[in-house]
Structures are given as structure tokens and as C-alpha cells.
Amino acid sequence: MKKTVWTFGLIAGGILAVTMMVTMPFHEQIGYDRGMVIGYTSMVAAFLLIFFGIRSYRDNVAGGSIGFGRALAIGALIATVASSCYVVTWEVIYFTSTQDFLSQYQAHELEKARRGGATQAELDKQLADMQHFAKLYQNPFINAAVTFVEPLPVGLIIALVSAGVLSRRRRVPEPAPA
């Protein structure tokens, strides 16, 4: 099980990391809303490897049979490995080259709220909340925890669906009538 989890988890994590490394230098040109679409689309594409990992384990290790619980565990572990790669990549990028990312994102969100008709009091409240979050986000552990919550739910949903589709028990043949 370890080999399957690590192999498929690292490949999925590599897809997530490469996508982030390629798109982050262009986040201003791409825009935050389109960047989110690109990010979550790449997560779904990368997490498709959960399906293939569970199937590989079922067919090559478990003799063609796997229960729902084991399939879900394998899928969840693959999602965790891939999400960890995503987090490590973001931590390196955030703390080395995009120190102004959060302030730019805050300005974008405030402008979006302003265009949406938010009152000055609402804008002030949103700004205070964002400044508090920005202070917390400078802590690498909080940063990592918040970042981990981005891809993991997507991976767990795909693991759940994949486990449901791929799980099957080996049928015990009935004894022949005497």
C-alpha cells in the first residue's frame, strides 16, 4: 500500500506543484478569479490519480478485490501526500518570492466589495478582518494549515467517489449441490 500511495501521491503532488510554479509568476495577468479556476481545475486533474492509484492497488496488489474502507484509506492517503506537496510548494513560493501577494489580494477583494456596493462600514470591517488574517498568515504553521485546507477537501471527495466506484469484494463461490 505504501508504494502505491507514495507513487500516485507524489505524481499528483508534482502536478499541483508545477501548476502553481508556472502560474504564480503570472498571477497579476491571470487575475485572482481566473487563477482560482485554474487552481481548482488543476487540483481535480491531479486528484484523478487517486482513482488510478486505488485501481492499481486493487488490480496489482489486492488480487482484484478491495473493500470500500481500504479504497477510501488509499485515496485519502494519496490526497494527503499530494496536498502536502502543494503546501510545501506554496510555503516556499510565499516566503521567498511573493511577500506582497496577500496585500495585493486584499486590495483586489476590497475593490470587488466596493464595486458590489458595500458600505464604508462593511469595507472597514472587511479590511480589519483581512489585516488580522494577514498577521496570522505570517506564521508558517498557520499558513501551512490554511493552505492545506485548499486542496484536501477536493482530494477527499474524489477519494470517496473513487472508493465507491472501485470497491468490490471477491465473491466466494457457492458449493455445488450434492
- The four Cα atoms 148, 102, 43, 35 give a dihedral, to 10 degrees, of 170
Looking at the chain, list the stretches that DSSP marks H as alpha helix, in order from N- to C-terminal side. Answer: 2-23, 27-30, 32-56, 68-96, 101-115, 120-137, 140-148, 152-166
Q: Is residue 120 part of a domain?
A: no
Q: Is residue 128 part of a domain?
A: no
Compute the distance between CA of residue 108 and CA of residue 2 in angstroms, rounded to an integer.
43
Mean pLDDT throughout 17-37?
Answer: 86
Least-confidence region, from 13-17, 105-109, 143-147, 149-153: 105-109
Distance, in Å, from the CA atom of 150 to the CA atom of 43, rounded to the nearest integer, reads: 9
In a domain, 129, yes or no: no
The letter for the amino acid at 176 is A
Is residue 103 a part of any domain in this protein? Answer: no
- The boundaries of the domain holding residue 48 are 2-97+143-166
Greatest CA separation for the chain: 85
- Enumerate residues 6+ apart whose C-beta is below 8 A from 150: 39, 43, 86
pTM: 0.85
Residue 157 in domain: yes
- pLDDT at site 32: 81
Q: Note whether residue 13 is domain-resident.
A: yes
Nearest to 57 by CA among 137, 150, 163, 149: 163
Cβ count within 10 A of residue 178 = 3
pLDDT digits (tens, 9 = 90+) for 68-83: 999 999 999 999 999 9
Q: Which one is predicted more confidently, 170 or 57?
A: 57
**pLDDT at site 176:** 64
Q: Grid coordinates standing for 167? A: 470497491
pLDDT at 101: 80
**Does 41 map to a domain?**
yes
The pLDDT score that the predictor gives to residue 174 is 63
DSSP code for 25: G
Q: How far is CA 145 from CA 29, 86, 140, in A?
A: 27, 12, 9
Helix (H, G, I), strand (E, B) or coil at 106: helix
- The DSSP code for 66 is B
Establish if 93 belongs to a structural domain.
yes
Q: How many domains does the chain have?
A: 1
